[in-house]
């Protein structure tokens, strides 16, 4: 579909897009760093094999950009969606591209809340691993973190074990670590647009509140839930003074926030990378595995492995021109 000269206007009403007379369609989003014709050919074969037809398509990003994103509106039997999703996951892994399938009406005007994991999702590090390096126990803590993220260890127990190894870390060194940790690429752009769309934002993290509060100030988060790192006399005690925010707690927090805001769970986007994110990912209407561990990618209905965090905007149906218009509006507020 040629979009040259097309005007893309951002609307924030909550009504679904109009649907064709022959019934509800589905949207398939393709994201890749290298768009080869054989990828499109293989995708066409998979759709045909499962009885789906492409009704129309459009590029959501510039074809000569760092990443290419294409959107296809497809029609087929809703009962075949589950099998199609499974095959698309296999194709995504084999062909080096992200493929996301959603109902056509579930676009950016449908979702009202976006909830994010923090470490290795909103930021480019696991904070507890960085703190451990400061204490000289980096390898030991990193191995426990990796096992927990893969779902091989109970998160509550592993978290307390790792925090205990931080005993004696000075508050000064803790602040220094926080200042050198980078936001994930695309995070600031994503949050500017989400704010323009009046989508509430939250962090539900198994990390630490001191880092979450820094993100609240920088990104304008509406909610932040994480773990307190107890400090006495200017040093970390190694104790965890409250209940740990684990996977089950994350899901409960999502429910609480949604209820408080009067938002249905199918209007929630949840984004994370580790096994402890799966409860909230599976609870949300759009659960997204972002640069995630294999077990998370296999369980989530949506996955982003290419591009930055702002590629989430393409998954909810925004064109590049609409994103730029929203950014411009948000800066002018």
| DSSP state for residue 28 in the 8-state scheme | E
CA distance readout (Å), 60 to 209, 311, 315: 36, 10, 10
Over residues 103-159, the pLDDT tens digits come to: 998 999 999 999 999 999 999 999 999 999 999 999 988 888 888 777 788 888 889
The tokens for 295 are 């077990």
Which of 194 and 86 is assigned the larger pLDDT? Answer: 194
Task: Answer yes or no: are the C-beta atoms of 2 and 63 closer than 8 Å.
Answer: no
Q: What pLDDT does residue 196 have?
A: 95
pTM: 0.88
- pLDDT > 90? residue 67: no
Q: What pLDDT does residue 330 have?
A: 65
Instruction: Write down the H helix ranges in 150-277.
Output: 155-164, 171-180, 187-196, 209-219, 247-261
Q: Phi/psi of residue 40, each to 5°?
A: -65, -35
Nearest CA to 246 among 230, 227, 229? 227
- Tell me which residue has tokens 């109009």: 18
Q: What pLDDT does residue 148 have?
A: 77
Q: Up-side HSE of residue 72: CA atoms within 13 Å toward CB?
A: 18
Residue 99 pairs in a beta bridge with: 30
Nearest CA to 129 among 211, 186, 223, 184? 211
**How many contiguous H segments (helices) and E segments (strands) does the chain have?**
13, 12
Q: Phi/psi of residue 112, each to 5°?
A: -120, -10
Over residues 34-59, the pLDDT tens digits come to: 777 888 889 999 999 999 999 999 98
Which of 193 and 105 is assigned the larger pLDDT? Answer: 193
CA dihedral 239, 245, 247, 248 (to 10 degrees): 110
CB atoms within 10 A of CB 167: 13
What sign results for the dihedral spanned by CA atoms 283, 288, 293, 294? Answer: positive
Q: What pLDDT does residue 37 have?
A: 82
> Rounded to an integer, what distance in angstroms lies between the CA atom of residue 183 and that of residue 307?
14
CB atoms within 10 A of CB 267: 19
> Rounded to an integer, what distance in angstroms lies between the CA atom of residue 246 and that of residue 9?
40
> Rounded to an integer, what distance in angstroms lies between the CA atom of residue 112 and that of residue 226?
22
When pLDDT is averaged across residues 76-102 and rounded to a whole number, the result is: 89
**Active-site residue list:** 117, 119
The tokens for 249 are 């707690």
What the chain holds in terms of domains, given with CATH numbers, is 20-105 (3.30.70.260), 107-126+180-333 (3.40.50.1000)
> Rounded to an integer, what distance in angstroms lies between the CA atom of residue 109 and that of residue 128?
36
Of 20-24, 180-184, 201-205, which gets the smallest average pLDDT?
Answer: 20-24
When pLDDT is averaged across residues 167-182 and rounded to a whole number, the result is: 94
When pLDDT is averaged across residues 247-253 and rounded to a whole number, the result is: 97
When pLDDT is averaged across residues 208-218 and rounded to a whole number, the result is: 95
């Amino acid at each position: 579909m040629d979009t040259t000269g097309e005007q893309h206007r951002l609307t924030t009403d909550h009504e679904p897009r109009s649907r064709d007379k022959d019934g509800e369609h589905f949207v398939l989003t393709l994201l890749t760093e290298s768009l080869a014709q054989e990828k499109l050919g293989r995708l066409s074969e998979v759709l045909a094999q499962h009885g789906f037809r492409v009704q129309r398509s459009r590029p959501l990003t510039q074809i000569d950009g760092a990443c290419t994103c294409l959107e296809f509106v497809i029609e087929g039997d809703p009962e075949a969606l589950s099998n199609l999703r499974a095959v698309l996951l296999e194709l995504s892994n084999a062909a080096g591209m992200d493929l996301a399938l959603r109902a056509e009406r579930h676009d950016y005007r449908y979702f009202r809340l976006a909830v994010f994991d923090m470490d290795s999702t909103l930021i480019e590090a696991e904070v507890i691993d960085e703190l451990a390096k400061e204490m000289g126990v980096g390898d030991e803590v990193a191995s426990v973190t990796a096992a927990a993220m893969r779902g091989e260890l109970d998160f509550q127990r592993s978290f307390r074990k790792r925090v205990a190894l931080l005993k004696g870390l000075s508050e000064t060194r803790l602040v220094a670590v926080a200042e050198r940790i980078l936001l994930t690429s695309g995070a600031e752009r994503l949050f500017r647009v989400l704010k323009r769309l009046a989508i509430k934002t939250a962090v539900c993290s198994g990390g630490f509140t001191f880092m979450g509060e820094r993100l609240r100030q920088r990104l304008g988060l509406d909610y932040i839930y994480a773990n307190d790192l107890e400090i006495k006399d200017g040093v970390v005690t190694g104790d965890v003074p409250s209940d740990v925010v684990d996977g089950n707690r994350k899901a409960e927090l999502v429910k609480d926030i949604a209820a408080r805001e009067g938002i249905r769970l199918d209007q929630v986007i949840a984004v994370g990378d580790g096994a402890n994110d799966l409860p909230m990912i599976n609870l949300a209407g759009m659960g997204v595995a972002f640069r995630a561990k294999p077990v998370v990618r296999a369980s989530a209905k949506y996955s982003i492995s290419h591009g930055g965090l702002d590629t989430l905007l393409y998954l909810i149906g925004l064109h590049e021109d609409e994103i730029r218009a929203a950014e411009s509006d948000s800066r002018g507020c």
